[in-house]
Copies of this chain bind each other. A is one copy, B any other.
Amino acid sequence: MSPLTAPQDSSHSDRANRASQLLATVRPGLQLVETKMKAVDSALFAPLAHAFLDLIGSGGKRLRPALALLSAEVAGMTPSSAAYPRVVALAAAVEMLHTATLVHDDVIDGAMLRRGAPTLNATWSGGSTVLAGNYMFGTAARFAAQTDDIRVIRLFSETLKIIVNGELRQLRDRYNYEQEKSVYYQRIYAKTASLFCAATEGAAILAGLSDAAVKQLRDYGYNFGMAFQIMDDVLDFTSDEATLGKPAGSDLRQGTVTLPFFYYLHRDSGADDLIAYLEEQRLRADEEDATIWDHTVAQVVQEVRATGGVKAARQEALNFLEQARNTLSIFADSPCKEALLGLCDYVVQRNY
């Protein structure tokens, strides 16, 4: 979950303003994306259209579409280019796919709240929510087809596969505390960074860049996306319910191992004892009282905060961002390049 759209507080609105400034240069393009996404088929029955628009509308800062638009412009395309509507289609496809996965995630997790607002899953039957997500998948596929570029369409469909595989692996790896760090990296690539890559690489392809330059923008998306997800995982430990719109430690509660916990677990030789303790508490929660697990998670969240796990994870995010910045060196200076660089700072500034 992105804290960009968490309930208002002063530091939140400062951050929102900063994001807004960074994206100002592609604001008109983002408006086109917005219009495209909200053109809901009137054949859809009214209650769905309403819920659907609510969900689309609560989509935060449109970071993924913004990356597509910024990449296209860094690559030399302008909003007056004949091909610009195809970049808008790509941007809308990426965001619609992102929203579809969020909707299905809520079914899979049984989540009733997202960004502090009730999920479709909370107000509808699970079946309707599955269909609403499918409608979004279908819309995303249609938008992707509108890029009119077979390479971009293939990239998009490969990305869909990577995301779904990643979700399946996340389900498989739940409550497996002994996974390697590489498994975590694979997972966050699949669930987050892959879609950022699709946005930046797809835009570079549509802008007609050379393969080498396409690779640079893809790498920007990859490194930025990895850092973005690490920071999301850090915030799940460092933030609080008022900011997150859900209790802290929700990954851990669902048995998903993230980087801060990984460092905490491996900080000394006590990993086996901790794993045994967690498994025992979860068993007790199942058998006696579900709140036992909530208390255990809250306790571990405190300990992860108190040790160096958060700092070490944050450092890894900084390393990825350094690499993201480096990928841009081949491109001429421009307001869009400035924005892509500025977003790298912004991602870690989210950490309070």
Contact = CB atoms under 8 A, between A and B. Distances in A.
B145 A148 contact: no
Contacts of A104: 130-131, 134
Contacts of A110: 127
Contacts of A146: 154
Contacts of A108: 127-128, 130-131
A161 B145 contact: no
Contact of A145 (B107, B137, B154, B167): B154
Contact of A168 (B45, B126, B164): B45
A133 to B, nearest CB: 8
Closest 5 pairs (CB-CB, A-B): A108-B127, A141-B157, A138-B160, A138-B161, A142-B157
A108 B128 CA distance: 7
Given A135-B161, A138-B161, A145-B154, 20 more contacts: A41-B165, A45-B168, A45-B169, A48-B172, A107-B130, A127-B171, A128-B168, A128-B171, A130-B130, A130-B133, A134-B137, A134-B167, A137-B160, A138-B160, A138-B164, A142-B157, A145-B150, A145-B156, A150-B153, A153-B153
A153 B145 contact: yes
A144 B160 CA distance: 13
A164 B138 CA distance: 8
A334 to B, nearest CB: 31
B164 A142 contact: no
A139 interface: yes
Interface of A: 41, 43-45, 48, 104, 107-110, 126-128, 130-135, 137-139, 141-142, 144-146, 148, 150, 153-154, 156-158, 160-161, 163-165, 167-169, 171-172
A153 B138 CA distance: 12
B138 A157 contact: yes
Contacts of A41: 161, 165
A167 B137 CA distance: 14
Contacts of A145: 150, 153-154, 156-157
Given A44-B168, A108-B127, A172-B45, A137 B135 contact: no
A322 B156 CA distance: 41
Contacts of A160: 137-138, 141-142
A161 B139 contact: yes
Contact of A135 (B128, B142, B165): B165
A51 to B, nearest CB: 11
A73 B108 CA distance: 43
